[in-house]
Structure 1
Amino acid sequence: MALALWAAAAATRADTVPPDISSMQVTRTDEGVFLSANLQFDLPVQVEDALRQGIPLYFTAEALVQRERWYWSDQHLGTATRYYRLTHQPLTRRWRLHISNTAFTSSGTGLALGQTYEQLEDAMAAIQRISRWKILEPAQLGSTSGVSVQLRFRVDLSALPRPLQMGVLGRSVWNLQLSRTQVLEATP
């Protein structure tokens, strides 16, 4: 019986998707440059257990916009950062997701959009879907020739409680990092 349960658990974890940014779209409009992306990753068992015990998990999405130059290093046009805080509320058995453009502090979430979900899968789907995120003002861009956008997404280990930070150092299951670069199409 125990062997059957172990085999079933191993089979479920063998079906996990490798971390990837499956699609990424960068569009330029009169209002600015917008990024949409779909992320694919599964939380490791240890991370999910920590969440279920009430430890908040922090994610960071960062968009770097650069213009390629042949005569010098690439010109940095701008950076946009989005912060996510996922918590489990054991009394209500609900998941709470906060999204903010400023880093969360120890005194609270500050100005953040908060949403409650019944299932962890629903909260993770909201984290994994980035839709029309404004990453640059139109005045900062100028022409689009040679402009690339790099999206980086990671678990922010520095925001974890100190005792947990010491325990996760060197453990690869906590080291979730995704990255993808896309060149912005030149406009005539």
Structure 2
Amino acid sequence: MSRVLRWLRLLLTLVALAWLTHTPAQAYEPEILQMGVQRTQEALYLSARLKLEPAAAVEDALLKGVPLYFAWQADVYRQRWYWTDKRVSTALRTLRLAYQPLTRRWRLSLSNDASGVTGAGLQYALHQNFDSLADALAGIGRVSRWKVSDAARLQADDKHRVEWRFRLDLSLLPRPFQIGMSNQPEWDIAVQKVLRVPTQAEPEPHPDGAPDLRPGDELGESVAAEPGR
């Protein structure tokens, strides 16, 4: 009987090890360090800061010269009791990160294109170089007073919300790298949240009291209005 028990324990141990080995890896959701919205007489702004720590496979692809694309999207909705909530504006920004082996620097490019153009059709408005991957990721994972809607699109006495999302956009990767990506959770980098829009507008900050820019803060914004329904 004791021999049977020993074999049974061994079998259970092997089964447990096999289960742990084949347990699929979890998708990576960046940690949110800060987020908030500000409503002024001129516009609605979103500020957010993420902690980005991509998996080794993602970093290895960058070091091999594969550019990666990170996308921010913010949709502003007006609540309607008589119908589905109406999207009043959409803000988009796509950041292209590439490693330059000759200079050993990281180049970050920003596209403000809100027309839905993707891939090679993206037009990059600003470029910035970083000495380290950590600094480049800090710039990618931060938006400061990002304009997501004009104030005129926020109707008085109505409730609004902002649904924002950050992700690694795999659809912009070269075709060979897109094959099988759905089965590799380490490439699934995404986070999304919903924020209430204040009902009252705050005064615009005085120019002398504007916050200091950090790497990535100066990478602008783009807003596209959603057609009325």
TM-score w.r.t. length of structure 2: 0.70
Q: Could you tell me which runs of 5 or more consecutive residues in structure 1 were left unpaired when the two chains were aligned.
A: 1-16
Bigger strand share? 1
User: 2: distance between equivalents of 1:21 and 1:69?
Assistant: 29
Distance 1:65 1:144, change over 3 A: farther
Find the partner of 2:194 among 174, 181, 184: 181
Counterpart of 1:66?
A: 77
Please tell me whether residue 26 in structure 1 is matched to residue 40 in structure 2: no
Counterpart of 1:51?
A: 62
Q: State the shift of 1:128 in Å.
A: 1.2
Distance 1:142 1:150, change over 3 A: same
Find the partner of 1:128 among 122, 141, 147: 141
* CA deviation profile, 1:77-118 (whole Å, cap 9, x unmatched): 1110111000000111000001121155426x6242100000
Over 6 Å off, 4+ runs: none
Find the partner of 1:169 among 178, 182, 190: 182
User: 1: distance between equivalents of 2:104 and 2:157?
Assistant: 47
Q: Could you tell me which runs of 5 or more consecutive residues in structure 2 were left unpaired when the two chains were aligned.
A: 1-27, 202-229
Counterpart of 2:127?
A: 114
**Alignment partner of 1:43: what SS?**
coil
Q: How many residues align?
A: 171
**Preserved CA contact (<8 Å) 1:144 1:187:** no
State the structure with more CA Rg: 2
TM-score w.r.t. length of structure 1: 0.85
* CA deviation profile, 1:19-49 (whole Å, cap 9, x unmatched): 2333211111222111110112311110000
Q: CA RMSD in A?
A: 1.8
Q: Which gives a bigger RCO, structure 1 or 2 (Cα 8 Å, sep 6+)? A: 2
